[in-house]
Homo-oligomer: A and B are copies of this chain.
Amino acid sequence: MTSTPSHAAIGIGELASRTHCKPETVRYYEKIGLLPAAPRNEGNQRRYSEATVQRLMFVRHARDFGFSVEAVRELLDMADHPSQPCDQVDQLARRHLAEVESRIQRLMVLRDELKRTVAQCDGDSVAQCRIIEVLSDHRLCGHDAAHGGAEALR
């Protein structure tokens, strides 16, 4: 076991493994200001406290929720001011929820069209392939607008 007593300083490797990310990511977060510049030991290596573990967990969790780094920055700022009203947090989360829902919608349209197209392929030569045919001629789609596939991923 390499568990460290809670009062001891934590190295970047342990911090990373405890928060399910990589040392590179930790340094990246420090660089872009999501984490404060870590104090160093005599050999110039970063040493962390439990508070930083908590902060990084918050960051990772928010990222897992799909919030952008900029949104995480705002959320952290709000979390740092607990006596303020939480309207802003609420708005940010609702906006994000709306984005996720619209992404799901667009992906579902795309999925249906892909499904329909794939189902029509009879496994013969490319010349008769329905997939290639549909890609070649937009009029063969169920939809006449773009499906928003590439955009749906953003």
User: Which A residues fall within an 8 A CB radius of B?
Assistant: 20, 54, 57-58, 61-67, 75, 78-79, 81-87, 89-90, 93-94, 96-97, 100-101, 103-104, 107-108, 110-111, 113-115, 117-118, 121, 123-129, 131-132, 134-136, 138, 146-150, 152-154
Contact = CB atoms under 8 A, between A and B. Distances in A.
Contacts of A154: 153
Q: Is the interface of A mostly helix, strand, loop or mixed?
A: helix
A34 to B, nearest CB: 13
Contacts of A81: 126
B89 A121 contact: yes
A129 B75 CA distance: 11
Given A86-B125, A123-B86, A58 B135 contact: yes
A138 B61 contact: yes
The count of identical subunits is 2
Given A132-B86, A135-B58, A107 B107 contact: yes
Contacts of A113: 65
B114 A104 contact: no
A132 B57 contact: no
Contacts of A20: 146
A106 B97 CA distance: 14
A-B residue pairs, 9 tightest by C-beta: A66-B149, A86-B129, A82-B127, A64-B146, A86-B126, A82-B126, A97-B114, A100-B111, A65-B149
